[in-house]
Amino acid sequence: MASESDSNGTVTVSLPNREGNMSSKPPVWPLDGSGALTPPLLTRCDRDGRQDGVCCKDLKDPDSRTLIDPDIVRDVVIGLSDGLTVPFALAAGLSSLGASKLVVAGGIAELIAGAISMGIGGFLASSAERDHYHFMRRHTSARVQRSCIGEMEREVCAVLVPVGVDEKTCQAVTKCLRDVEFDPEVDAHGSSSDQEAQLLRWKDQVGLTPFLLKFGEGMEEISKRRVYMSALTIGLGYLVGGIIPLIPYFFVPEAHEALVYSSIVTGIVLLIFGAVKARVTGAGQGAGGYIWGAVSTLLVGGTAAAAAYALVAWLEDS
């Protein structure tokens, strides 16, 4: 195994890659003057110095909930919320006409059309967000290409200084990111040892451009899979939520009587859905948070249903 020594007397030992071969740019772990091995930053841990010997990663927070991906939660909330409120409001409004068959026919028609419409809306919204990201990436990349190092340092400082990073460190970060984005060695050498670096660059995940987009503009790329998943999640959420208020109308012939059962079932589901939503989003802090999430969701659905029922009843009387 090859080793080198720099001007400070630090010895670096080349490590083999995954295939066991020595690459032209091997990762190294430095050895100090006493011969002790200094681990890389990502592998350092102070648990040996702790009295309990526990790594900080193993320390548990009092609130140890595992939250779901917020994008998925957003789509589920959009689909279920509209599915529980809109068909229920429509069914409540049509209940003033007296026949459950009419409510079922109108409710199913609205449910199918609404699910398709909501799914297409989610697809178009995610696609527009994805297109906007690609436009901003081209715009930011062109700006990075033509800007001097001083302008890039100012932009990096504008992102990092407000969170407590000093200007000297900002300059070092700018230089590192700029070197990664404009590294000529990756383009000049196509050796297998640089395949991982090329893969990162091809994925557009390194350099000043993704840094400014993510931390400066607060934007991240949306994958094609996410676009289709958003449409499917919103559409299915609307379909599942919308069928619940219609269930009593399948078994009770009188719409006014079925409306009572539908209101009870939908109210219970809205309360449960509001509490679960507060749980998975992290909004619920104690019993009060869950109660408020449940009650607020019930109020939204109840208000929509009451407004629809009152409007149809008023039109029928007039």
Q: Answer whether 135's CB lies under 8 Å from 262's CB.
A: no
User: Residue 170: pLDDT above 80?
Assistant: yes
In the chain, pLDDT over 70 holds for what percent of residues? 68
Q: If you search the block for the tokens 């890389």, which residue do you land on?
A: 40
Rounded to 5°, angle at Cα 275 from 270 and 278? 125
Q: Is the dihedral of CA 248, 249, 250, 253 positive or negative?
A: positive
Mean pLDDT over residues 282-300, rounded?
77
11: left (phi over 0), alpha (psi -120 to 50) or beta: beta
User: Residue 200: pLDDT above 50?
Assistant: no
What's the pLDDT at 21? 47
Which H or E run includes 3? Answer: strand 3-5
Q: Check residues 185 and 126 and name the one with the higher pLDDT.
A: 126
Mean pLDDT over residues 99-118, rounded?
88
Rounded to 5°, angle at Cα 81 from 77 and 84? 140
As a whole number of angstroms, the longest Cα–Cα distance in the chain is 96
* Predicted TM-score (pTM) above 0.75: no
Q: Check residues 41 and 129 and name the one with the higher pLDDT.
A: 129
Rounded CA-CA distance 149/119 in Å is 45
> Long-range contacts of range 268-277, CB-CB < 8 Å, 24 or more positions apart?
269/84, 269/241, 269/244, 270/84, 270/294, 270/297, 270/298, 270/301, 270/302, 271/295, 271/297, 271/298, 273/80, 273/81, 273/84, 273/241, 273/297, 274/298, 277/73, 277/77
Mean pLDDT over residues 185-194, rounded?
46
Rounded CA-CA distance 144/210 in Å is 11
Express each pLDDT in 130-142 by its tens digit.
999 889 888 888 8
User: Residue 116: pLDDT above 90?
Assistant: yes
